[in-house]
Structure 1
Amino acid sequence: MMMILIIYPLWFIVIASFSNPSDVANGNVWFWPKEWKLDGYIELMKQEMIWRGYLNTIFYTLIGTFIALFVNIPAGYALSRQDLFGKKIISMFFIIPMFFGGGLIPTYLVVKNFGLIDTFWVLVLPFSVSVFNIIIARTFFRNSLPESLWEAAQIDGCGTIRYFITMVLPLSKAILAVIGLWTAVGIWNSWFDAMIYISNENLQPLQLVLRRILIANESMLGTASGELASELRRLSEMMKYAAIVVSTLPIMCLYPFLQKYFNQGVMIGSIKE
């Protein structure tokens, strides 16, 4: 029953994207389209900027996820070590920003002063550090890696960096998958940061491009009348559902391959210390 409650809304979006909006509005579509229509997808794919947006989002997601893992995983491991010098001070340095932030305008000014406005890196560098992910990784390392493993590595002449690369990372596939999936989903669905920091149309991600397309369609509806308005309204509704499917399908296809690591990593990383 629980699976039906979770899966059906997703399935309804898919079948609604292939259905006549009037059938959806009148409640005639439940489990299967009354008649198959591809108009929404056809009109959506006619928009040339959607392909640029798709490519941009793929690059943002891949590079942003890699940078996030490169930053947060070592930080989590370092904080998990009992012999870290100044551990309490460093922990406070990470935790305080979780409760107090400068706000949008100071953040914008900082990003602008670094020269990142309207650049590719503005969506992958400034917000790559996640204190929440660092804490989850720290808890994972504390509960999953016995201290005896580090002691044995030291006896064999293994240094800290070598130990982290050759032993810690191979044993941490679960937490790597969890944080990687969280980060990838966040970057893929992000549009607000792009709206604030990117005005160059060639650098805008998919979500922002889809938003612009839908807003443009709504504007056209306001200037049309009669049969033209009815047809535009029909296409607009179908494009809304098609846009949801197009924007979520890649992440939904990725999740089954990471599910086993995701479940394991969440449970281990959530154990109270």
Structure 2
Amino acid sequence: MTKPSTVKLTAGDRTFYICINAFLIFIGVIIAIPMWSTITLSFRPNSFLGTNFEGMFLPVWKWDVSAYKALLGNAGFITAFWNSLKIMAFGVVTALALTVPMAYCMSVSDLPGRKVLNYFVLIPYLFNIGVIPTYLVVTNLHLTNHLASIFLPGAIGTYNCLIMRGFFEGIPESLKESARIDGAAEWYVLVSIILPLSKPIIMTIGLYYAVNFWNDFMHAMLYLNEAYLQPLPILLRNILMASGMNEYVEVNAFGNASVQAIKAASVFMSAIPMIIAYPFIQKYFTKGTMLGSVKG
């Protein structure tokens, strides 16, 4: 049995790969240090007197969960967290339900008025209409103080639509034509042929929308005035900017947690849904983005 041939790397290639790996490790460390500092700060007891650097190496058996108990025992935090989950869930479903048909229509080569439709979608991407016109539209539709005001204005992201269109255009036209010859309508082609083959791009675009709706601060600040409707980004801003924490957590709920630990715990908990979701979507992420962007 012959051994498979291998490509020998030159000294320049090895130097290049070493530099690239060193650079990526450096970037990873820069990203990891603030994250680890925030996590350890959230578990730091109020009795800890060391520096922030020393706190990053605090043994696990000395960690204190009082900050998390205080947050989870606060009705305002739970309500804001639940509001953000609802906005993200309804927003992703609504956005995908609108983006998928739009992207499919843009990908049909013989669609009458296809160029006009593509320009119609592309123009808002190049020229943002601004906050005031959007605010007037939302107000005239009586969507203020309603969670729908967060995800409906951005239900169709132009960039996401273009990426998905590129993916649909990469699907062999013969599959669509064979279904049409058998008498299938366009909706049947989309649901039965296109969507099963488009799981990577749907999961990728769904993740884009989920992150966008979960972190949406501006729309919530503009349209949601009632405290019981405010999502987690608004509450998180209030917690981080508050000089005292009595507005959000009862004094007797602190236990051994410091105010800084409460702030760090709120930041970490706000990232938990995305941390949980990403590993399940990661295998689709690169494939969906690359296939969609190359064709688009």
TM-score using structure 1 length: 0.87
Correspondence for 1:102: 129
- Mapped contact 2:45–2:258 kept (Cα < 8 A): no
How many Å separate the matches in 1 of 2:128 and 2:63?
49
Match runs of 1:30-179 below 5 Å: 30-33=56-59, 35-143=62-170, 145-179=171-205
The one-letter code of the counterpart of 2:67 is: G
Correspondence for 1:189: 215
Match of 1:251 among 242, 251, 274: 274
In structure 2, the CA distance between the partners of 1:262 and 1:31, relative to structure 1 (3 Å rule), is farther
How many Å separate the matches in 1 of 2:67 and 2:50?
14
Deviation at 1:20, TM superposition (A): 4.7
Q: Percent identity?
A: 36
- Mapped contact 2:107–2:166 kept (Cα < 8 A): yes
Deviation at 1:258, TM superposition (A): 0.9
- Mapped contact 1:174–1:264 kept (Cα < 8 A): yes
In structure 2, the CA distance between the partners of 1:179 and 1:26, relative to structure 1 (3 Å rule), is closer
The one-letter code of the counterpart of 1:164 is: L
User: After TM superposition, which residue ranges in structure 1, 4 or more long, deviate above 6 angstroms?
Assistant: none
Which blocks of at least 5 consecutive residues in structure 2 are unaligned? Answer: 1-21
How many Å separate the matches in 2 of 1:189 and 1:244?
12
Greater C-alpha Rg: 2
Deviation at 1:220, TM superposition (A): 6.4
Larger helix share, 1 or 2:
1
The one-letter code of the counterpart of 1:19 is: R
Correspondence for 1:224: none
Correspondence for 2:262: 239
- Mapped contact 2:167–2:295 kept (Cα < 8 A): no
How many Å separate the matches in 1 of 2:117 and 2:183?
28
Cα shift readout 1:70-115 (whole Å, capped 9, x = no counterpart) = 0111111111111111111111111111122232222211110011
How many Å separate the matches in 2 of 1:129 and 1:25?
47
The one-letter code of the counterpart of 1:240 is: K
How many Å separate the matches in 2 of 1:152 and 1:86?
24
- Tell me the secondary structure at the aligned position of residue 183 of structure 1: helix
Which blocks of at least 5 consecutive residues in structure 1 are unaligned? Answer: 222-227
Match runs of 1:179-218 below 5 Å: 179-216=205-242, 218=243
Match of 2:288 among 244, 265, 271: 265
In structure 2, the CA distance between the partners of 1:8 and 1:215, relative to structure 1 (3 Å rule), is closer
Deviation at 1:121, TM superposition (A): 1.2
- Tell me the secondary structure at the aligned position of residue 280 of structure 2: helix
Deviation at 1:24, TM superposition (A): 6.7
CA RMSD of aligned residues (A): 2.4
TM-score using structure 2 length: 0.81
How many Å separate the matches in 1 of 2:49 and 2:115?
60
